[in-house]
Amino acid sequence: MPFPLVLGLYRLLLPVFLILSLPGWLLRMGRRGGFGSGLRERFSIYTRALEDEPCGAVHLHSVSVGETMIAMKLIRAWQLHEPDKRFVVAVGTATGHAVAVNADLPGVRVTYAPVDFRWCVRRYLNRFEPAQIVLVEGEAWPHLLIGCKKRHIPVRLVNARLSPRSERRYRKLASWVKPVFGMLDAVAAQEPGDIERWAAIGVAPERIKVTGSSKFDPGAAAKPAQRPEFARMLAGFGAGRPVVLAASTHAGEEAWIGKAVRECGALFAVVPRHAERREEVRADLEKAGFEVVQRSDFHPPDNPAVACFLIDSTGELRDWTAHADLVVIGKSILGTGGQNPAEAILAEKPVLFGKHMENFEPLAAALVEQGGAIRFSGMESLQESVRQLVATPEARSECCARASAVLQGHDGATGRILDLLGAADVRRR
């Protein structure tokens, strides 16, 4: 089908999709505090004076928390070389907005990315006049790319990730999506094997450069660090107890992992993927027989032996991993896709995950193959692995060393990405 017809169909269906998804979207935004965060900017309605906007800045588009943290990482590295460089971070969710605002980086304007209506994109581009747009891991919206192409604004995709599911879907729709991805000026791919995959859906091969992933770059940021206030909270559950942290968990996984950990005598701490699920998570854990202590209303447990720690906060996971003895990766058991294991590895903590790590392949497979992570098949295998690692410091150290060696393949990725984006005087590590 010719691209003009595809584009016309997209323009007809986009309002329908927005209307159908609006109730659920509004509900999520309400739960995540989005209504007080300038959500009208999604429709290019701004309250800040135009003369106060950073026109001509570099724009980084990030969908949610993970992508926003990568954007912050890139900005910090860029500002080391160009301290006066101005940036705009355009996010897609309220949680991503909170992470960007709380980072409080100088010279950074935080806004919402516009919905991909032509008039929203036009108002956004007219207002900010970006020097370039950097898409962090996704998403390539047709009107945004068309608008940038007409204005000669380069659009580059970094940490480019194409899950097997997305690849299959895009290949089926190749004639539709090739003109869209073909408008990208550059793609920073994570692995050499990604070149063929991106080329198959429309990106010119000469525009694809293998940089590695900034998300997995072990030298691009300080390691997760222990905080005294975190240590004091954990001490309330009993001094010296091993801590098993479930990170970025999906619905239903908290109680599932908690039951396995409880049988091993360790303290179970959990950081749900979305803090607004706190009441749901608390109810599930209490039903499973836990006394639940929440981070947001902390008090020492009445009975530490049956207590667990629900860390219902946003933006703290990174440093909580520094206090764990083991980290179980969420959304890998009852959810699909998995979550990022890199921060736990950087914190030198053994990593365990279930069978669903599709969004982090081939890294997850390499970690398991090299002995840098444990993939469990069920509750019994998780219990066995936790018992072994808790009881054997040498096994924990060996697992961490092997995982760090796997991440070395991405060392310097942040510098290579900044080179691709035209940052001045970047020195690769």
Q: Radius of gyration over alpha carbons of the chain, in Å?
A: 22
For 338-389, the pLDDT digits (tens) are 999 999 999 999 999 999 998 888 899 999 999 999 999 999 999 999 999 9
Q: What is the DSSP letter of 352?
A: E
Query: Would 94 be classed as within a structural domain?
Result: yes
Q: What is the DSSP letter of 180?
A: H
For 5-23, the pLDDT digits (tens) are 889 999 999 999 888 887 7
- Residue % of the chain over a pLDDT of 90: 74
For 34-60, the pLDDT digits (tens) are 666 577 899 999 999 999 999 999 999
Contact between 348 and 268 under an 8 Å Cβ cutoff? The reply is no
Question: Does 428 score more than 50 pLDDT?
Answer: no
Judgement on whether residues 188 and 237 belong to the same structural domain of the protein: no
For 69-84, the pLDDT digits (tens) are 999 999 999 999 899 9
Query: Would 382 be classed as within a structural domain?
Result: yes
Query: Would 368 be classed as within a structural domain?
Result: yes
For 236-295, the pLDDT digits (tens) are 999 889 999 999 999 999 999 999 999 888 999 999 988 889 999 999 999 999 999 999
- 279: domain CATH number is 3.40.50.2000
For 112-171, the pLDDT digits (tens) are 999 999 999 999 999 999 999 999 987 899 999 999 999 999 999 999 878 777 788 888
pLDDT of residue 36: 61
Name the CA dihedral angle for 235, 346, 383, 311, rounded to a multiple of 10 degrees. Answer: 40
Phi, psi of 121 (to 5 degrees): -65, -40
Judgement on whether residues 30 and 20 belong to the same structural domain of the protein: yes
pLDDT of residue 220: 72
Count Cα neighbours of 59 within 13 Å in the Cβ-side half-sphere.
26
Query: Would 426 be classed as within a structural domain?
Result: no
Judgement on whether residues 166 and 233 belong to the same structural domain of the protein: no
Judgement on whether residues 206 and 244 belong to the same structural domain of the protein: no
Judgement on whether residues 106 and 183 belong to the same structural domain of the protein: yes
Judgement on whether residues 250 and 322 belong to the same structural domain of the protein: yes
For 87-109, the pLDDT digits (tens) are 999 999 888 998 999 999 999 99
Query: Would 255 be classed as within a structural domain?
Result: yes
Reported as a pLDDT band with limits 50, 70 and 90, residue 429 is very low
Give me the domain span that covers residue 25: 3-217+412-421
Query: Would 386 be classed as within a structural domain?
Result: yes
Judgement on whether residues 399 and 416 belong to the same structural domain of the protein: no
| Domains contained in the chain, number | 2
Query: Cα(320)–Cα(347) distance, rounded to whole angstroms?
Result: 10
Query: Cα(102)–Cα(122) distance, rounded to whole angstroms?
Result: 28
Query: Would 222 be classed as within a structural domain?
Result: no
* Token pair listed for 314: 């946003």
Judgement on whether residues 115 and 211 belong to the same structural domain of the protein: yes
Judgement on whether residues 240 and 319 belong to the same structural domain of the protein: yes
Between the alpha carbon of residue 320 and those of residues 230, 292, 301, the distances in Å are: 7, 17, 19
State the chain's mean pLDDT as an integer. 91
Judgement on whether residues 157 and 207 belong to the same structural domain of the protein: yes
Question: Does 426 score more than 80 pLDDT?
Answer: no
- 33: domain CATH number is 3.40.50.11720
Query: Would 429 be classed as within a structural domain?
Result: no
Reported as a pLDDT band with limits 50, 70 and 90, residue 201 is very high
Judgement on whether residues 107 and 30 belong to the same structural domain of the protein: yes
Judgement on whether residues 88 and 76 belong to the same structural domain of the protein: yes
pLDDT of residue 34: 60
For 390-423, the pLDDT digits (tens) are 999 999 999 999 999 999 989 999 999 999 999 8
